[in-house]
């Protein structure tokens, strides 16, 4: 019933609208692959995504807007990927999210103080689906310097959130009907120390603070999962850092020491790490080196006996090439990319690997593929 009433309000606000301004955008790609590790990946493939959007100023001071996205993969019948319908003015709005699309629940008040807390509280965890993506209908209004929001999910369960700025101090609070959970978060700056404190009714809590002292950037994170303290500062041409952590139930403190520097076209980095645990685990190390000269870039990384190297060169006129290799599963790849302009691109990729993929972003599959893509 709640959702029906809110939707009815939106439909009434649409009344009297003139013809809307409509825009169409989308993406399309086509590829052919041969020699893939998994035979299913061989052959032709295509994707098409289209988004239609429209907006219109109404006679009553509101603006109505809507969007709709449909996708088709390998020629299959296009399906609804997401969309929304919104009616808004300068101080208030109401949005209905279509099937396939979910909004951010009103009780979501950020990522919480830091990564020390659990992510199951109303005031924590941008990755928590209960907190982050639960709104089928979301309404908000701003009055007296405060923004008040309310949302309903598919089960007609409500979230309510309030946020305001108290002279440079940000205060947020939220209530989630699922579990009757509530939480609050406050952040600001006091005597050069930036801080965020978050708590909730499930006894999750977190504190994050950062400042600069004696030329060093110092950070402190603590909460119900433990604590982490770090400091970094420049020493000549280098930057050194130290981090101590105790964030798990396992006894024993972990630590990391890092150093990095840039010498003209060369960038160097070194990290020495010991994970948390008792007895203390063996230390691990990683070294990186990069070289940049004009349109040429080369990167090298090694961790113990594992190493990788990647190179890329911009030939100009929209044409670039790249290649790389590592001693992990005999991985090697090469790619040629050509920007055709106006949102179009052509790519030829080759991967030789016993693993599923290769490349610096692990997005080049074993085998040879040629693809063309467009955006409009």
Closest by CA position to 184, among listed 163, 154, 214: 163
Q: Which DSSP helix (H) or strand (E) runs through 2? A: helix 2-14
Q: What number is the average pLDDT over the span 225-230?
A: 88
pLDDT score for 37:
75
pLDDT score for 132:
53
C-alpha span between 87 and 104 (Å, rounded) = 17
pLDDT score for 340:
96
CB 101 within 8 A of CB 128: no
pLDDT band at 300 (very low <50, low <70, confident <90, very high): very high
Q: What is the DSSP track for 288-341?
A: EEEEEETTEEEEEEEETTEEEEEEEEEEETTEEEEEEEESSTT-EEEEEEEEEE
- Beta-carbon neighbour count of residue 178 at 10 Å? 16
pLDDT band at 328 (very low <50, low <70, confident <90, very high): confident
SS3 helix, strand, coil % of the chain, rounded to 5?
A: 5, 60, 30
**pTM across the whole model:** 0.76
Q: What number is the average pLDDT over the span 80-97?
A: 94
User: Among all chains, which residue has been given the structure tokens 């590592």?
Assistant: 326
pLDDT score for 359:
54
Average pLDDT, the chain: 84
Q: What number is the average pLDDT over the span 166-187?
A: 85
Closest by CA position to 216, among listed 206, 228, 207, 229: 229
C-alpha span between 230 and 208 (Å, rounded) = 12
pLDDT above 90 as % of the chain: 54
């Amino acid at each position: 019933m709640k959702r029906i009433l809110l939707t009815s309000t939106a439909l009434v606000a649409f009344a009297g609208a003139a013809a809307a301004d409509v825009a169409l955008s989308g993406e399309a790609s086509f590829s052919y692959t041969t020699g893939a590790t998994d035979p299913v990946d061989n052959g032709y493939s295509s994707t098409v995504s289209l988004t239609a959007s429209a907006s219109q100023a109404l006679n009553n001071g509101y603006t109505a807007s809507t969007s709709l996205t449909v996708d088709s993969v390998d020629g299959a019948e296009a399906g609804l990927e997401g969309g929304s319908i919104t009616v808004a003015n300068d101080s208030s709005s109401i949005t209905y999210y279509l099937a396939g699309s979910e909004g951010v629940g009103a009780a979501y008040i950020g990522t919480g103080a830091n990564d020390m807390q659990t992510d199951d509280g109303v005031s924590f965890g941008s990755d928590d689906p209960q907190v982050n993506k639960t709104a089928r209908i979301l309404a908000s209004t701003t009055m007296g310097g405060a923004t008040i929001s309310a949302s309903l999910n598919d089960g007609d369960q409500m979230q309510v959130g309030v946020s305001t700025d108290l002279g440079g101090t940000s205060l947020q609070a939220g209530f989630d009907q699922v579990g009757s959970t509530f939480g609050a978060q406050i952040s600001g700056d006091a005597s050069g120390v930036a801080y965020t404190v978050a708590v909730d009714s499930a006894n999750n809590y977190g504190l994050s603070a950062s400042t600069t002292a004696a030329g060093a950037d110092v950070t402190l994170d603590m909460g119900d999962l433990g604590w982490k303290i770090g400091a970094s500062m420049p020493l000549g041409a280098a930057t050194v850092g130290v981090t101590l952590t105790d964030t798990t139930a396992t006894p024993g403190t972990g630590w990391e020491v890092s150093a990095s520097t840039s010498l003209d076209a060369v960038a160097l980095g070194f990290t020495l790490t010991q994970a948390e645990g008792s007895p203390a685990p063996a230390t691990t190390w990683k070294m990186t080196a990069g070289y940049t000269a004009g349109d040429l870039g080369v990167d090298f990384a090694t961790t113990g006996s594992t190493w990788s190297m990647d190179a890329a060169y911009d030939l100009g006129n929209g044409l670039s090439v790249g290649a790389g290799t590592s001693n992990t599963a005999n991985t090697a790849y090469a790619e040629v990319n050509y920007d055709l302009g106006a949102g179009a691109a052509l790519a030829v990729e080759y991967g030789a690997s016993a693993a599923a993929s290769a490349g610096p972003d692990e997005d080049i599959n074993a085998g040879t593929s040629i693809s063309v893509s467009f955006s409009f």
